[in-house]
Amino acid sequence: MISKRIVLHFPHRLAGQPIVCKLAKDYDLEFNILKAYIIPDEEGLLVLELSGEDKSYEQGIQYLTLIGVKVQPLSQDITRNDRRCSHCGVCVPICPAGAFVVEPLTREVRFHDNECIACGLCVRACPLHAMEVTF
């Protein structure tokens, strides 16, 4: 089994196609939509948690890539600017996914990007603008 959080960028021409439905029906993949929006006449964006058997997952991603969907891991799109982060920890109780964890000894805040659900709450709540969303 594999489960990953990914960001899909749909070109304009694919906006009308039932692509995620195909992932479920043809490749037997489970999906959990975390975020979706469409910029009219430009592109669509979908943040998904996608799970399934390793081989099916690989084939599903291959299908997406082949039809022209750009696929990238979510961790690449939500990043922490370590130069600006002061490790204050105000983000810790704000994050609904528990992606920020305080190290008990040093009190440094670890960002576990694999837990991130791309809600963006930390981006607005961070007083030093250390959290960045790029998608």
Total chain residues near another protein (CB under 8 A): 20
Residue 70 engages another protein in binding (rule: CB under 8 A) = no
Q: Which of 11, 93, 112, 132 binds another protein (CB under 8 A)?
A: 93
Angle, helices 19-27/54-67, rounded to nearest 10 degrees = 150
Residue 73 engages another protein in binding (rule: CB under 8 A) = no
Residue 124 engages another protein in binding (rule: CB under 8 A) = yes
Residue 120 engages another protein in binding (rule: CB under 8 A) = no
Burial class (CB in 10 A: 0-12, 13-18, 19+), 131: buried
In 24-97 the beta strands, taken as DSSP E runs, fall at: 30-39, 43-52, 70-73, 78-80
Residue 88 engages another protein in binding (rule: CB under 8 A) = yes
